[in-house]
C-alpha cells in the first residue's frame, strides 16, 4: 500500500502542476501574446532602422545603390522601407529590378514599379542566366531602362502595342520571404504620405526633437492595421528620413487562431497530461519499489538479488551504493565465516600442536633417557673397576651414546630454527649431480654392509643445475638417502631419478625396496619423532627429526614434495627450480 500511495501522490501532484502551468500559459497567451508580439515587432524594426542608418552613414549610397540597400533590408525584415526628404515626401526609388543582357548586346535595367504589380506578375524561381521576354515601355532616351508591363518566360506569345525585349538575366533583386503581395504594401506608403500631406508640419514638429516618430495607420480598403516608424538619417541635418511600415495583421490572426486551437487541443492535452503523469509516477516510483525490496532482502541477509537501476541520477547512485553495501556485507560475512573456520582450524591445530608438544616432550625424554641410562651404567661399571678388557668397550659405548645425544640435540636446535623462521637461504646455481654423488659416496660403507647398490637416472646430459641453497640441499639428499638405506631390504637397489618437467623444474625421486607405509601414516611421517614402526628399537638408526627438517627446507625452497608407496617399496620425491646459469660450487 505504501508503494501505491507514493505513485498515487506523484500522479496527483504532477497532474495538478502540469495542468496549472498549462492554464497559466493559456491565460498569458490570451492576455499578453498580442502585446508581446507588437512590442517585439517594433523593437526588431527599430534595430533594423539602426542597422540601415549605420550602413547609410558608412556607404553614403545614392541612386541605384540606395535603392538596392532598401530592397535588401525590405527582404530581410519583411517590411516596406522608403526614404523621405525634409518635407516628408517620398524619394522616387524603386528597390526591385532586373538587369538583362539583351539579344542585341545591350545591358538593360527593368525597374519593378511599386504599383500595378503583384507577386504573380513575375515568374518564380528566377536565377542568373535564365532567359526572359519582357513587354513594356522605355523610360529613357537611350532605351536602357524599361518599365515592364508583362514579364514572361521565353517562348510566350508576344503582347501587342508594347516594346518587346528578350535576353538573359545578369542580376536581379526581387521580393523574397515577404508577406503576400509586398508590392501593394510598398505602394501603401504613398497613401500614408497623402494623408499626412496636410499635416506635415505637425508630424515634423513631433519628429524633429528626438529624430523619431512612431504611429499606427489603418488601410481603409482592407482594414489592416500597420505600424509606422520614421527616423532621421545621420548626417542629413533633418533633410532625409527613413520610413518603415509593416503590417500588424499576423498577430491578430495568430491570436485568434491560437485561441481556437487551444480550445480544440485542451481536452487532448489534459488527457495526455493525465496519461503521462500516470506513466511518470510509475517510472519514478518503480526504482523506489525495487530499492525497498532490495532493502528487505538485505535485512534478511539475502545478498542474491541486487537492484538493477542503471540511471545516472540519485536512484542509480543509491542503487550502486546499495549494491556496494550488499557486496561489502557479503564479503564481510564471507570473511567472518572464513575467519571463524580458520579460527576453528587454528583451535584444532593448537590442540594438535599441544598434543605434538606433549608427544615431543615424551619422545625427547624417552630418546634421552635410554642413552643417559646407558652412559650412567657404563660409567658406574668403570667406577667399580671392571675388567681391563671391557674398559675400552665401555668407553667406546659411552662415546657412541654421547654422539647420539649430540646428534639429537643438534637436530632439535636446527628444527627449532626452521619453526621460528630464523633460517635464511643462500640460493644460487648448484650442481644436483655432484650433490647426489657426494651423498652416495658418504653412504658407501652402510650400503656395502647391507649389500645395497644404487641406480642413478639423470634426464639429459650435463650437471643438472638447480636454484637452491647448496648446504641445505645436501642435507635434504643426505636425510632422504639415510632414510632409504635404513629401511631398504638387504641386497636391493636404491633408484635415484631426476626428471625435467615442462614448468622449468626438476623432479628428484629416491625409491627404496622394502615394506610399504600404511596410508594413515603417509601424511604423518614428516612430524617430529614420528616412526612408522613404533616398536622398533632406536638402534635401527635416526633421531626421528630428519624428515621434519627435510620438510622445512623444501618449503623454504617452494618445492613440491611428498611420499608414496610403489610396487617395490617407498619413494620420496621433491622438485627444484632448474637453473640456466653456469656459476656453481
Q: Nine-digit cell at 536?
A: 622398533
pLDDT of amino acid 410: 64
Query: Are 209 and 116 in a shared domain?
Result: yes
Contact in structure between 185 and 247 (CB atoms under 8 Å): yes
Is residue 150 within a helix (H) or strand (E), and if so which, with residue range? strand 145-153
pLDDT at 359 over 50: yes
Query: Are 27 and 165 in a shared domain?
Result: no
Segment 301-312 shows an average pLDDT of 63
Q: How many CB atoms lie within 10 A of CB 8?
A: 13
Contact in structure between 469 and 427 (CB atoms under 8 Å): yes
Q: Is residue 550 part of a domain?
A: yes
* 277 HSE (CA, 13 A, CB side): 19
Q: What is the pLDDT of residues 383-435, one digit of tens each?
A: 777 766 677 777 777 776 676 677 666 666 666 665 656 567 788 998 888 88
pLDDT at 509 over 90: yes
pLDDT of amino acid 571: 93
Of 241, 234, 161, give the one whose Cα is nearest residue 196. 241
Contact in structure between 181 and 221 (CB atoms under 8 Å): no
Query: Are 141 and 160 in a shared domain?
Result: yes
Segment 234-247 shows an average pLDDT of 78
Q: How far is CA 273 from CA 188, 262, 265, 267, 575, in A?
A: 48, 15, 12, 10, 78
Q: Nine-digit cell at 9?
A: 501522490
Residue 512 banded pLDDT, cuts 50, 70, 90: very high
Chain centroid to Cα 146, Å, comes to 71
Query: Are 246 and 258 in a shared domain?
Result: no
| Cell 508591363 sits on residue | 149
Q: Is residue 369 part of a domain?
A: no
pLDDT of amino acid 1: 40
Q: Is residue 373 part of a domain?
A: no
Query: Are 208 and 259 in a shared domain?
Result: no
Query: Are 268 and 194 in a shared domain?
Result: no
- pTM given for the model: 0.43
Last residue of a domain, one of 251, 274, 304: 251
Last residue of a domain, one of 263, 279, 294: 294
Of 181, 116, 124, 184, give the one whose Cα is nearest residue 148. 116
d(CA 558, CA 548): 16
Length of the chain: 585
Q: Is residue 320 part of a domain?
A: no
Is residue 397 within a helix (H) or strand (E), and if so which, with residue range? helix 388-419
Q: Nine-digit cell at 562?
A: 611428498
Q: How far is CA 31 from CA 27, 227, 258, 260, in A?
A: 6, 20, 12, 15
pLDDT at 532 over 70: no
Q: Helix 388-419 crosses helix 314-383 at what angle (to 10 degrees)? A: 170
d(CA 444, CA 54): 120
Give the end-to-end CA distance of the chain in Å, rounded to a whole number: 84
Work out the percent of the chain whose per-residue pLDDT is above 90: 5
d(CA 508, CA 480): 11
Query: Are 97 and 244 in a shared domain?
Result: yes
Q: Is residue 101 part of a domain?
A: yes
pLDDT of amino acid 496: 92
Q: Which of 300-304, 441-445, 553-557, 558-562 has the lowest mean pLDDT?
A: 300-304
Q: Nine-digit cell at 379?
A: 660409567
d(CA 192, CA 170): 35
Contact in structure between 578 and 465 (CB atoms under 8 Å): yes
pLDDT of amino acid 190: 83
Q: What is the pLDDT of residues 519-530, one digit of tens each?
A: 888 877 877 666
- Beta strand segments in 203-327, E: 212-218, 225-232, 240-247
Q: Is residue 558 part of a domain?
A: yes
Query: Are 546 and 448 in a shared domain?
Result: yes
Segment 560-579 shows an average pLDDT of 90
Range of the domain at 13: 2-40+252-294
Q: Nine-digit cell at 310?
A: 542503471
| Cell 624417552 sits on residue | 366
DSSP letters spanning 320-354? HHHHHHHHHHHHHHHHHHHHHHHHHHHHHHHHHHH
pLDDT of amino acid 511: 93
Query: Are 487 and 502 in a shared domain?
Result: yes
| Cell 621434519 sits on residue | 548
Query: Are 545 and 559 in a shared domain?
Result: yes
Q: Nine-digit cell at 87?
A: 518635407
pLDDT of amino acid 362: 65
Residue 539 banded pLDDT, cuts 50, 70, 90: very low
d(CA 60, CA 81): 17
Which residues are within 8 A (CB) of 71 and not within 5 positions of it... i.e. 6 or more apart? 95, 96, 173
User: Under the phi-then-psi rule, with left for phi > 0, alpha for psi from -120 to 50, and beta for the rest, what region is 504?
Assistant: left
The rounded mean pLDDT for the chain is: 77
| Cell 545603390 sits on residue | 65
| Cell 600442536 sits on residue | 353
Query: Are 17 and 122 in a shared domain?
Result: no
Q: Is residue 358 part of a domain?
A: no
Chain centroid to Cα 316, Å, comes to 16
Query: Are 220 and 263 in a shared domain?
Result: no
pLDDT of amino acid 537: 41
Which residues are within 8 A (CB) of 178 and not within 5 positions of it... i.e. 6 or more apart? 74, 75, 78
d(CA 106, CA 143): 9
The domain that holds 434 is classified in CATH as: 3.30.565.10
Q: How far is CA 385 from CA 172, 376, 381, 397, in A?
A: 151, 14, 7, 16
- State the Cα angle at 157 between 154 and 162, rounded to 5°: 95
Segment 561-576 shows an average pLDDT of 91
β-pair type (427-431, 225-232): unpaired
d(CA 510, CA 440): 12
pLDDT of amino acid 149: 64
Q: Is residue 192 part of a domain?
A: yes
pLDDT of amino acid 536: 41
| Cell 635410554 sits on residue | 370
Segment 478-482 shows an average pLDDT of 88
Q: Which of 17-21, 44-48, 310-314, 495-499 has the lowest mean pLDDT?
A: 310-314
Structurally, how many domains does the chain consist of? 3
Amino acid at each position: 500500500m505504501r508503494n501505491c500511495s507514493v505513485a498515487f501522490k506523484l500522479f496527483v501532484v504532477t497532474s495538478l502542476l502540469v495542468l496549472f502551468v498549462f492554464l497559466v500559459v493559456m491565460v498569458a497567451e490570451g492576455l499578453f501574446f498580442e502585446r508581446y508580439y507588437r512590442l517585439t515587432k517594433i523593437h526588431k524594426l527599430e534595430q533594423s532602422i539602426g542597422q540601415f542608418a549605420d550602413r547609410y552613414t558608412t556607404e553614403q549610397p545614392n541612386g541605384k545603390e540606395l535603392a538596392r540597400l532598401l530592397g535588401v533590408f525590405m527582404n530581410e525584415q519583411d517590411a516596406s522601407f522608403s526614404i523621405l526628404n525634409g518635407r516628408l515626401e517620398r524619394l522616387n526609388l524603386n528597390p526591385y529590378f532586373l538587369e538583362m543582357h539583351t539579344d542585341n548586346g545591350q545591358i538593360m535595367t527593368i525597374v519593378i514599379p511599386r504599383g500595378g504589380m503583384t507577386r504573380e506578375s513575375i515568374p518564380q524561381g528566377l536565377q542568373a542566366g535564365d532567359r526572359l521576354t519582357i513587354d513594356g515601355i522605355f523610360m529613357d532616351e537611350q532605351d536602357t531602362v524599361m518599365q515592364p508591363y508583362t514579364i514572361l518566360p521565353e517562348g510566350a506569345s508576344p503582347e501587342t502595342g508594347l516594346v518587346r525585349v528578350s535576353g538573359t538575366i545578369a542580376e536581379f533583386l526581387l521580393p523574397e520571404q515577404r508577406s503576400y503581395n509586398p508590392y501593394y504594401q510598398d505602394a501603401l506608403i504613398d497613401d500614408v504620405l497623402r494623408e499626412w500631406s496636410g499635416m506635415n508640419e505637425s508630424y515634423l514638429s513631433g519628429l524633429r526633437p528626438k529624430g523619431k516618430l512612431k504611429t499606427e495607420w489603418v488601410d481603409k480598403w482592407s482594414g489592416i492595421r500597420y505600424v509606422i516608424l520614421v527616423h532621421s538619417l545621420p548626417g542629413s541635418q533633418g533633410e532625409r528620413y527613413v520610413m518603415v511600415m509593416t503590417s500588424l495583421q499576423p498577430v491578430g490572426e495568430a491570436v485568434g487562431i491560437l485561441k481556437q486551437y487551444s480550445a480544440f487541443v485542451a481536452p487532448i492535452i489534459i488527457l495526455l497530461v493525465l496519461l503521462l503523469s500516470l506513466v511518470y509516477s510509475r517510472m519514478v516510483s518503480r526504482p523506489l519499489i525495487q530499492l525497498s525490496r532490495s532493502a528487505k532482502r538485505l535485512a534478511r541477509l539475502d545478498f542474491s538479488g541486487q537492484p538493477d537501476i542503471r540511471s545516472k541520477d540519485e536512484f542509480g547512485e543509491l542503487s550502486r551504493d546499495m549494491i556496494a553495501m550488499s557486496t561489502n556485507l557479503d564479503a564481510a560475512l564471507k570473511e567472518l565465516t572464513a575467519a571463524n573456520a580458520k579460527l576453528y582450524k587454528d583451535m584444532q591445530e593448537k590442540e594438535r600442536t599441544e598434543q605434538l608438544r606433549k608427544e615431543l616432550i615424551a619422545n625427547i625424554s624417552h630418546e634421552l633417557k635410554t642413552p643417559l641410562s646407558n652412559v650412567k651404567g657404563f660409567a658406574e661399571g668403570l667406577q667399580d673397576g671392571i675388567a681391563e678388557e671391557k674398559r675400552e668397550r665401555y668407553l667406546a659405548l659411552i662415546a657412541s651414546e654421547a654422539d647420539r645425544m649430540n646428534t639429537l640435540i643438534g637436530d632439535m636446535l636446527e628444527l627449532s630454527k626452521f619453526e621460528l623462521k630464523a633460517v635464511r637461504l643462500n640460493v644460487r646455481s648448484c650442481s644436483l649431480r655432484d650433490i647426489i654423488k657426494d651423498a652416495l659416496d658418504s653412504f658407501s660403507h652402510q650400503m656395502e654392509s647391507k649389500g645395497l647398490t644404487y641406480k642413478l637416472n639423470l634426464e639429459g646430459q650435463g650437471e643438472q643445475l638447480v636454484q637452491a641453497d647448496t648446504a641445505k640441499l645436501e642435507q635434504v639428499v643426505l636425510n632422504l638417502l639415510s632414510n632409504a638405506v635404513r629401511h631398504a631390504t638387504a641386497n636391493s637397489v636404491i633408484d635415484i631419478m631426476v626428471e625435467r618437467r615442462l614448468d622449468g623444474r626438476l623432479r628428484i625421486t629416491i625409491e627404496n625396496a622394502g615394506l610399504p607405509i600404511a596410508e594413515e601414516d603417509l601424511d604423518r611421517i614428516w612430524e617430529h619423532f614420528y616412526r612408522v614402526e613404533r616398536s622398533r628399537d632406536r638402534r635401527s638408526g635416526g633421531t626421528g627429526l630428519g624428515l621434519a627438517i627435510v620438510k622445512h627446507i623444501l618449503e623454504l625452497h617452494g618445492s613440491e614434495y611428498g611420499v608414496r608407496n610403489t610396487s617395490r617399496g617407498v619413494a620420496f620425491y621433491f622438485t627444484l627450480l632448474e637453473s640456466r646459469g653456469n656459476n656453481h660450487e
